[in-house]
Amino acid sequence: MRGFMKGYVLKRILQSLVSVFLVSTLTVFLVFSCIPRQLVFKGDQMLQKLANRPDEYQDYKFRTWESLGYLDYITMKEYAQSIYGNDSDQVSTALQSGSSFYERFRAELQAKRYTVEAQPVTGYLYAYKDIPTMTRVLRWYANLVQVDHPWRVKDPNNPDLKRGYYFTKDWSGMPALAASGTLYKYQIWIDGSFPFLHQNIIHLYMGRSYPTYDGIPVLEVIGMGQGRTARREVTTKVGGQEVTFYTSIDEHTLKYKPDLDRLDKNKFEDNYADGNNIYQDPSMLGISFRIGIMSLILSLGIGLTIGVVAAMRKDKMFDKVTMGYIVFISSIPTLLYIALFARFGMKILGLPDKFPFLGAQNFLSYILPTLSLSLGGIAGEALWIRRYMVDQMNADYVKFARSKGLTQGEVFFRHIVRNALIPIVHSIPMAVIGTLAGALITESFYAVPGMGKMFPSSISDYNNAMIIALTFIFTFVSVFAIFLGDILVTIVDPRISLAARKEAR
Amino acid sequence: MTDKTAEKFTYATFDILQSEHIAGPKYSYWKSVFQTFFKKKWSVFWLVLLLVMTLMAFIQPLLSGYDPAIAPNINKPETWYLKPSAQHWFGTDDRGNDMWNVVWAGTRMSLSIALIAAAINIGVGILVGAIWGYSKRIDPILLGIYNVVSNVPGILRSMMLMYIFGRGFWQIVLAMTITGWLGVAFFIRTQVMIIRDREYNLASRCLGTPLKRMVTRNILPYMVSVIATLIYQEIPGLINTETVLSYLGIGLPTTYPSLGRMIDTYWSFVDTYPHMIVFPGIVLGLITISFYIVGQLFADASDPRTHR
């Protein structure tokens, strides 16, 4: 039996991973091949400023495309520098108009299958070559997992950089494993927030965000705090002396910084001086997670309760009201009932109908988005459990139990509800997927700064990396939920546990 | 005396066909369906409402000629923000458009998208599902595809596809249908598998019923109720998807009228001029509820087990 379970779990894990892989590959491929590359500039302010300087405009566009992985881009100046070194005389002679270097550049790069074009004003040449979509998909996967190690930083100005691990204490005095030569200073540390033990050794990287949150890796955008920075007093040792200063830097995110300025040297002993800020409000992930989990609990709790009660009072008033609610919620568009509910919550309960009114610190901001998100789930769960219970009530074993003289309550809670445990477990993945889908709508409606709002706004901004990352996260969560549901069902199902007991004898 | 009683009797002719006739009430499937359906006043009410609203949505915009790209009263402030009156039943909006025209034009757009997409999804779904249910060879392939696709929430799929295709009417239809038929096909496949191996079909096959008769008499009557169930869940669902996509600004372009776009554009007036949001909301709600309820009642009526 155990062997069977293990095999089944292994098979399901493999299946789930294949699903996530296929969906993300397809997404990456479609985004890279179907979205016209001109569109990525739609939300870029910089490009509008350059509009009346055609050369810089052209250069900026190609540099951005290169950094987003669309193409390889090389200018005449860069090519000359790569040949003559940084010797400015030879480079500037090569760039003078009428120089033979123009012909050389054209010939050599065309031989490498580059397209060579001239800049509109200065006439300098530049060359570019498209990177095939399949290569870009492969690169996306190649960059996905980034492992930090003591030989990662290669700084020519700092050849004596020590390389290795050591134990230390962070600013709050907690023990931590730090390293030198790595990208991140702190490798493993402990603190008071979930999941308590943190690491910097393995990072996922899904590209950088552009044009919104320009330059920041997309997963950092989703994971970093929002709102105002939070400053605190920190006492640390620099060169054997105790220093006290106010800062909002999160010491656990400190990265290697090649050029230290005077301020950095006052605060840090080593080159690890580049850290992210601590913010007052939770991250997009954090906000979506809070709202999602709460509404999941609400929809399962309330939905299952009213479903069971409706089944017990079949065809009575309560059942009819519940069925009316279910028909209402499942027929009218989500947007409409959320709008209705928001009006009700604002006018009658006096709650804010936009999240930013009171902000992420205030508990009241979360009430309407959470409840709105659970409205659909409640209807789904209630319908599901009611139908299951009603079917069970006519089952032979229930009739038999009743004819033996068991009371209505005994029959209900000893037999029917126990059997209904299986569909309850089975309905959890459904509820998770419903919550994910609902988050896309409710978060936009209430202007909640979470992942669900980020997705449609990334679509309007053509933030490709963000769209891919969010699709990956959403797919991963729903695949994982389905996997968990399947495993739980095999554990909970009484028929399987019965077989296990027989074998044990 | 004997003669008089004899007059009351006539000789019956021997008829070989009569002796073969099995006594029983006459049963016509479709007649019973409609009888069961129309027996409830409730169903007639919702059906009439649905028909009236659908006809209004498809006829009224032809007469009004409303086009959101043109705002003829944009320079006449006296026509803006009018409350509902005898002249403007639903009032006017912030650019002097008659809301009555706006609402029906939007309904027409949303309904057209939903109906076209539903027709494609259900048509392709039934066809593929029927083959899928019978063929053991393609079952694992389609099941694999279905498992991968169904793992992604539907609205996320549509949003992703809308991003790929760009905004527009046919783009929305494509985004809804390109994976939408899979769910329908899976549902049909399961139903076909259940029905095809039922005892009465087994018996029927043993008695030599030809396949055509099996399909039309044994399987289809069962499937009618299944298909009706699909339709009543599909159409409100697709209207929902369209409103969400258009509301989030990734569905229809701004030059198209639609119920989702209407909620998006008029939501800012919800406090000052509530009529601009209430009427589109009511029409949107009524049309989806009537589709849902009529479909549900028809699905119940078309189930042969409810016929008496």
- Which residues neighbour B224 within 8 Å (Cβ) at sequence distance 6 or greater? B33, B302
pLDDT band at A303; cut points 50, 70, 90: very high
* Domain covering A284-460 in this structure, CATH number: 1.10.3720.10
Say if residue B238's pLDDT is above 80: yes
Position B141 in a domain: yes
State the DSSP code for B305. G
For the residues B245-271, what does the mean pLDDT come to?
85
- pLDDT over threshold 70, residue A41: yes
Q: What is the pLDDT of residues A431-481, one digit of tens each?
A: 888 888 899 999 999 999 999 999 999 988 889 999 999 999 999 998 888
ipTM over 0.90 threshold: no
> Quick check: A225 and A361 in contact, CB under 8 A?
no
Cα separation, A334 vs A135, whole angstroms: 40
Q: At residue B213, does pLDDT exceed 50? A: yes
pLDDT at B90 > cutoff 60? yes
Contact A35 B260 (CB under 8 A): no
Contacts of A461 (CB under 8 A, 6+ apart): A42, A43, A211, A212
The domain tally of chain B equals 1
| Contact criterion met (CB < 8 Å) for B162 and A336 | no
Does a structural domain hold residue B13? no
CATH number at residue B102: 1.10.3720.10
Whether A279 contacts chain B with CB within 8 A = no
CA distance A103 to chain B (A): 41
B83 three-state secondary structure = coil
Q: What is the pLDDT of residues A209-240, one digit of tens each?
A: 888 888 889 998 998 888 888 888 888 888 77
Structural domain containing residue B56: 30-66+91-306
Query: Each residue of A481-497: pLDDT tens digit?
Result: 888 888 887 777 656 54
Lowest-pLDDT range, A399-413, B40-54, B209-223? Answer: B209-223
Task: Inspect the interface and report whether the beta carbons of B263 and A336 lie closer than 8 Å.
Answer: yes
**Cβ pair B53, B107 in contact under 8 A:** yes
How far from each other are the two terminal CA atoms of chain A, in whole angstroms?
A: 13
In a domain, B284, yes or no: yes
User: For B267-296, what is the mean pLDDT?
Assistant: 88
Q: Chain-wide mean pLDDT for chain A?
A: 86
Residues A66/A72, Cβ–Cβ less than 8 Å: yes
Contacts with B296 (C-beta within 8 Å, 6 or more apart), sequence order: A327, B229, B232
For range A238-245, the mean pLDDT: 82
Distance CA B232, CA B223 (A): 14
Give A-chain residues touching B233 at CB under 8 angstroms: 330
Q: Label residue B24 by pLDDT band (50, 70, 90).
A: low
Q: Is residue B172 part of a domain?
A: yes
pLDDT score of B181: 94
Q: Is B123 on the interface with A (CB under 8 A)?
A: no
Assigned domain for B128 exists: yes
Closest partner CB to A331 (pick from B164, B236, B267): B236
The C-alpha of A438 sits at a distance from chain B's nearest C-alpha, in angstroms, of: 9
Distance from CA of A19 to the nearest CA of B (A): 5
Q: Report the pLDDT value the prediction gives residue A195, as an integer from 0 to 100.
A: 81
Q: Report the percentage of chain A scoring pLDDT > 90.
A: 26
Q: Where do you find CATH 1.10.3720.10 in chain A?
A: 284-460
Compare A86 and A280 and report the one with higher pLDDT: A280
Q: Is the dihedral of CA A435, A437, A441, A443 positive or negative?
A: positive
> Is B203 part of the contact surface with chain A (CB cutoff 8 Å)?
no
Contact A444 B248 (CB under 8 A): yes
How sure is the predictor about A505, in pLDDT bands with cuts at 50, 70 and 90? very low
Q: How far is CA A131 from the centre of its chain?
A: 26
Question: pTM of this prediction?
Answer: 0.87
Give the model's confidence band at A501: pLDDT under 50 very low, under 70 low, under 90 confident, else very high.
very low
- The DSSP H or E segment spanning B172 is helix B169-177
Nearest to B159 by CA among B247, B253, B250: B250
| Residue B26, pLDDT above cutoff 80 | no
pLDDT at A372: 93
